Amino acid sequence: MQIKENISLKPYNTFGIDAKAKYFSAFSSTDELEDLLSGKKSKTQNTKLILGGGSNILFTKDFKGLVLKNELKGIELIKEDENHYDIKAAAGENWHEFVMHCIKHNYAGVENLSLIPGNVGAAPMQNIGAYGVEIKEVFEQLEAYHIHDNRIITFSVNDCAFGYRESIFKRKYKNQFAILNVTFRLRKRPIFHTSYGQVKHELERMDVKELSIQAISQAVINIRTSKLPDPKVIGNAGSFFKNPEISSHAGWLIEQCGPNDSLSWKGYREGDAGCHAKQALVLVNYGNAKGEEIYALSEKIKDSVYKKFGVLLEREVNIV
């Protein structure tokens, strides 16, 4: 457990932004986290950032404090009754690998959330959701370490105050807790969600005769792979903005606006910062964009949507 100094965060965020962390360390046990937090370098640095897969974060400047990369591992079945399995997953487990583990063991409930990048520990942060399902529906509890007073606290679903891409950890308790593990209550008898987006259509195309969580997961994987830019190829953090609570989607609103009357933001590029050509909601780094350039583009998009439609877009991505 070594604290590195002045390291590039480029490999640690899916936007591929080359910001630097003054201090950086990974932890793979709660004891290691405790040691890091009580160490001298931590004490002299007020700001700490718990990092998962870096797939929902935009670094707009160098980070002056201590970045703590969560590498806690382990997935276990902790309880079972007639209808449910309670599965506890450590925060540093990769989300999609966790979903694949559930699919393999017939634990139903997270199949629609296949292929979302990032780690288990960040999933409750914004109540991740896709294709008609959010994690709050299968969430049982989580354990989190209070960064300032070294206590482990258990949060129930109500304690987390989940909303659309929201939780208490993004608001009141922002930067106060390191989520250690999450327990999910998964079903023995699945409830299939196929009505959202193109899921039904893809299942038909796949010629699925009998619905299963395996088939739904595969359909979601197929749709996501064909629609969303792969961060390994082009830097991005998925939807940059939340969908506003009106009938129009943010992507559509952004498409209707642009840097001037004749241009749309969709496919627009300013240096290496841009708006994806297929998904206007996804801002991208074509190579060497700076975080502040992507942020500046997001501000222009927000302003133009507000001017044209009077709708104030809210960012989904965490700005650091």
Ligand X SMILES: Cc1cc2nc3c(=O)[nH]c(=O)nc-3n(C[C@H](O)[C@H](O)[C@H](O)COP(=O)(O)OP(=O)(O)OC[C@H]3O[C@@H](n4cnc5c(N)ncnc54)[C@H](O)[C@@H]3O)c2cc1C
Kindly give the residue spans of alpha helices, DSSP state H, lying in the chain: 30-38, 40-44, 95-104, 157-160, 199-205, 213-227, 250-256, 291-309
CB-nearer residue toward ligand X: 273 or 304: 273
189 catalytic residue (yes or no) = no
224 catalytic residue (yes or no) = no
Binding mask of the shown chain, residues 53 to 92, with x at each position contacting ligand X by CB under 6 A: xxxxx------------x--------------------x-
Sole window of 20-28, 75-83, 123-131, 186-194 interacting with ligand X (rule: CB under 6 A) = 123-131
Q: Does 228 bind ligand X (CB under 6 A)?
A: yes
CB-based contacts of 209: which residues, under 8 Å, 6+ apart? none
Which amino acid, one-letter code, is at 215? A
* Smallest distance, ligand X to C-beta of residue 210, A: 26
- Closest Cα to residue 157, out of 193, 130, 178, 185? 185
* Smallest distance, ligand X to C-beta of residue 112, A: 10
Catalytic residue among 165, 185, 202, 217: 165
Q: What is the DSSP string of 290-312?
A: -HHHHHHHHHHHHHHHHHHH---
* Smallest distance, ligand X to C-beta of residue 214, A: 20
The Cβ of residue 148 has, within 10 Å, a number of other Cβ atoms equal to 10
171 catalytic residue (yes or no) = no
Residue from the set 3, 142, 178, 297 that interacts with ligand X by CB under 6 A: 178
Contact 84, 186 (CB under 8 A): yes
Q: Does 235 bind ligand X (CB under 6 A)?
A: no
Which amino acid, one-letter code, is at 230? D
Residues that bind ligand X (CB under 6 A): 14, 49-57, 70, 91, 116-119, 121-123, 125-126, 128-130, 177-179, 228, 231, 236-238, 318
